[in-house]
Amino acid sequence: MLIKVGTDILDKNRFLKSYRNGGITFLEKLFTPYEIRENSIEQLASIFCLKEAVAKALELPKASWLSINTKRKENGKISCAFADESIARKITSLDTSISHEEKIIIAVAVIIIDNN
């Protein structure tokens, strides 16, 4: 068993500027149609930060955002699923946390991987 941790910190204003410059094309490079449809732009900024934390923990390639699918639970917490079955099979447990402070967002992902 391996315990992997990833963190990311994001300036929300920088994300919003990128969105204003790139519009829907920018969003489609980072998020699934479901994520775009179900979340506000501010929520997408948090999800982007979380996807970065998960990708760091799993040591995924930089442009792997679309392989991580997120869904907001009833309690507001975000769960992750993976398009790549080989990644999903290795994960025993995945827990995430996101915090906001005005324009700063931080996300943490703790993942337990079965390395057998």
Q: Where are the domains of the chain?
A: 2-113
Query: Quick one: pLDDT band at residue 65, thresholds 50, 70, 90?
Result: confident
What CATH architecture is 2-113? Alpha-Beta Complex (3.90)
In this structure, is the dihedral angle defined by the CA atoms of residues 60, 74, 33 and 41, taken in order, positive or negative? negative
For residue 115, pLDDT beyond 90: no
Q: What is the spatial distance between Cα 42 and Cα 110, in angstroms, rounded to a whole number? A: 23
CB atoms within 10 A of CB 33: 9
Q: Which two tokens stand for residue 24?
A: 């829907």
pLDDT tens per residue, range 67-92: 999 999 888 889 999 988 888 888 99
For residue 116, pLDDT beyond 90: no
Phi-psi region of 39 (alpha: psi -120 to 50; beta: other; left: phi over 0): beta
CB atoms within 10 A of CB 93: 11
What is the reported pTM? 0.92
